[in-house]
């Protein structure tokens, strides 16, 4: 979610409509390039830097982050981190070439969430990119993303000016009314993505790394919910000559939040989609059975996971798939 930064109206004395000054604190930088400036003055193929910042005046989501509840909400566009996005400004890179800078400010509490949860930091990266695209009506490359080793691009980050009504508790209604009134406003419910680490810019302050190493794929969701936890064996299609060996890499552990789930299982393989998996629970033997169903590419390979005797009856099972890491995540 991105807030529209409105200009100061000197004649407006209504406290509800007064302008709030927000001083962003730098967090990390996203770097890419402009691949479609549309009808703006931004130059095509120019570098663009997004300063991801924080300030406690920016609203929090209506529900605090809990990975087991929030990821399904994200997939249904029912949860997002509010972002105050500045207009683009011109700068120069290390070679004195023209580049552009945008500031994306989130609530300070959200920083701790993205530091602790890799997937959320990836999703936030895409939210910031799309927020910038919507505000400036440009298109930013997802294949040229990197994360320079610096906390901010530029000597200083200017203050952001936001109407207090946009920071009120009913900010969702305000945003949606703006969207209905003028579709070109830089306001949107955003989705998710992330990309690779890189760059040799100097590190200016101590900061734990937030963004992982990996390549992006064009505009596909990072997280997919697996809906079909079938108890039936599918028919086996014939394996063609392109079939190859499938390898599973399994890790198990206790979830950070034990209020609902007792066990976290992660499976990494060559499979690239949630649709390639079949997952079922064998209650008789207390086993989790995972197998691939894309047998036209890989021969069927089952992974039987004996579970500890910690469940009362059949455990509740929730599954996610993280595309960039080819990781199936299961909570029981």
pLDDT at 188 over 50: no
Of 181, 205, 234, the position where a domain reaches its end is 181
In a domain, 78, yes or no: yes
Instruction: Tell me, yes or no, whether 241 and 167 share the same domain.
Output: no
Instruction: Note the pLDDT of residue 227.
Output: 52
pLDDT mean over 67-76 = 82
pLDDT higher than 80, residue 190 = no
Banded pLDDT at 203 (limits 50, 70, 90): very low
Statement: residue 128 has pLDDT above 60: yes
Which of 132-146, 249-263, 269-283 has the weakest average pLDDT?
249-263
State whether 236 and 175 are in the same domain.
no
Please indicate whether residue 66 or residue 212 has the higher confidence score (pLDDT): 66
Is pLDDT of 309 > 60? yes
Mean pLDDT in residue range 277-300: 85
Which one has a higher pLDDT value, 316 or 93?
Answer: 93
Residue ending a domain, among 181, 208, 242, is 181
Tell me which of 35-39, 82-86, 114-118 is least confident.
114-118
Predicted local distance difference test score (pLDDT) of residue 252: 85
pLDDT of residue 186: 34
Average pLDDT over residues 228-236: 51
Q: Do both 143 and 277 map to the same domain? A: no
At 293, which CATH number?
2.60.40.4160
CB atoms inside a 10 Å sphere around CB 11: 5
242 CB-near residues (< 8 Å, 6+ apart): 297
Structure tokens at 7: 């200009």
Among 38-52, 70-84, 210-224, 260-274, the minimum mean pLDDT is found in 210-224
d(CA 134, CA 188): 7
Q: Are 290 and 182 in contact (CB under 8 A)?
A: no
102-111, 136-145, 223-232, range with the lowest pLDDT: 223-232
Q: Are residues 294 and 153 in the same domain?
A: no
Distance of alpha carbon 5 from alpha carbon 21, whole angstroms: 11
Asked if residue 71 and residue 10 are part of one domain, the reply reads: yes
Q: Is residue 198, in this structure, part of any structural domain at all?
A: no
pLDDT at residue 226, rounded to an integer: 55
* Statement: residue 171 has pLDDT above 50: no
Inside any domain, residue 210: no
Q: Does a structural domain hold residue 207?
A: no
In percent, the amount of the chain with pLDDT more than 70 equals 70
pLDDT higher than 60, residue 139: yes
Q: Is residue 23 part of a domain?
A: yes
Rank 7-11, 18-22, 147-151, 204-208 by mean pLDDT and report only the highest. Answer: 147-151
Q: Do the domain assignments include residue 88?
A: yes
| Whether residue 56 is found in the same domain as residue 133 | yes
Whether 149 has a pLDDT exceeding 50, the answer reads yes
Residues 82-92 have pLDDT tens digits of 999 999 999 99
Number of domain units in the chain:
2
- Based on the fold, state whether residues 164 and 286 are members of the same structural domain: no
What is the Cα–Cα distance from 272 to 298, expressed in whole angstroms? Answer: 12
pLDDT attached to residue 7: 37
Distance, CA of 226 to CA of 322 (rounded, Å): 11
Express as a percent the part of the chain with pLDDT over 90: 32
Contact 31, 146 (CB under 8 A): yes
Q: Where is the domain boundary, 153, 181, 209?
A: 181
Q: Are residues 127 and 241 in the same domain?
A: no
Do 47 and 175 reside in the same domain of the chain?
Answer: yes
192: in domain? no
72 and 142, same domain (yes or no): yes
pLDDT(35) > 90 = yes
How many angstroms separate the CA atoms of 221 and 19, rounded? 36
pLDDT at 272: 84
Range of the domain at 294: 226-331
Distances (CA, A) of 324 to 122, 193, 296: 10, 9, 22
Q: Residue 274 — very low, low, confident or very high, per pLDDT cuts 50/70/90?
A: confident
Domain co-membership, 231 together with 170? no
Q: Are residues 28 and 103 in the same domain?
A: yes
Q: Domain for residue 54, yes or no?
A: yes
- Distance of alpha carbon 74 from alpha carbon 80, whole angstroms: 7
Average pLDDT, the chain: 76
């Amino acid at each position: 979610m991105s807030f529209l930064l409105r200009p100061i109206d000197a004649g407006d004395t209504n406290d509800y409509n007064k302008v709030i000054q927000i001083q962003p604190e730098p967090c990390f930088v996203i770097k890419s390039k402009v691949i479609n400036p549309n009808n703006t003055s931004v130059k095509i193929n120019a570098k663009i830097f997004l300063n991801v910042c924080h300030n406690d005046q920016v609203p929090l989501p209506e529900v605090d982050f809990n990975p087991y509840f929030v990821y399904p909400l994200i997939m249904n566009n029912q949860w997002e981190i509010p972002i105050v996005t500045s207009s683009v400004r011109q700068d120069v890179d290390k070679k004195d070439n023209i580049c552009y800078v945008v500031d994306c400010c989130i609530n300070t509490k959200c920083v701790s969430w993205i530091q602790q949860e890799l997937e959320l930091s990836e999703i936030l990266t895409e939210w910031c990119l799309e927020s910038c695209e919507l505000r400036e009506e440009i298109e930013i490359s997802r294949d040229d993303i990197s994360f320079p080793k610096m906390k901010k691009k530029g000597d200083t980050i200017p203050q952001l000016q936001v109407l207090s009504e946009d920071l009120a508790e009913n900010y969702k209604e305000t945003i949606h009314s703006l969207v209905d009134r003028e579709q070109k406003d830089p306001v949107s419910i955003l989705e998710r993505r992330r990309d690779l680490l890189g760059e040799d810019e100097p590190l200016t302050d101590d900061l734990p790394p937030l963004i992982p190493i990996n390549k992006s794929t064009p505009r596909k969701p990072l997280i997919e919910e697996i809906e079909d936890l079938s108890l039936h064996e599918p028919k086996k299609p014939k394996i063609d000559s392109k079939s190859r060996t499938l390898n599973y890499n399994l890790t198990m552990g206790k979830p950070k939040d034990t209020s609902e789930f007792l066990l976290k299982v992660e499976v990494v393989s060559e499979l690239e989609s949630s649709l390639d998996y079949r997952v079922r629970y064998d209650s008789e033997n207390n086993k989790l059975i995972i197998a691939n169903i894309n047998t036209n590419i890989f021969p069927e390979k089952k992974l039987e996971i004996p579970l500890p005797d910690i469940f009362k009856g059949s455990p509740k099972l929730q599954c996610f798939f993280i595309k960039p890491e080819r990781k199936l995540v299961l909570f029981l």
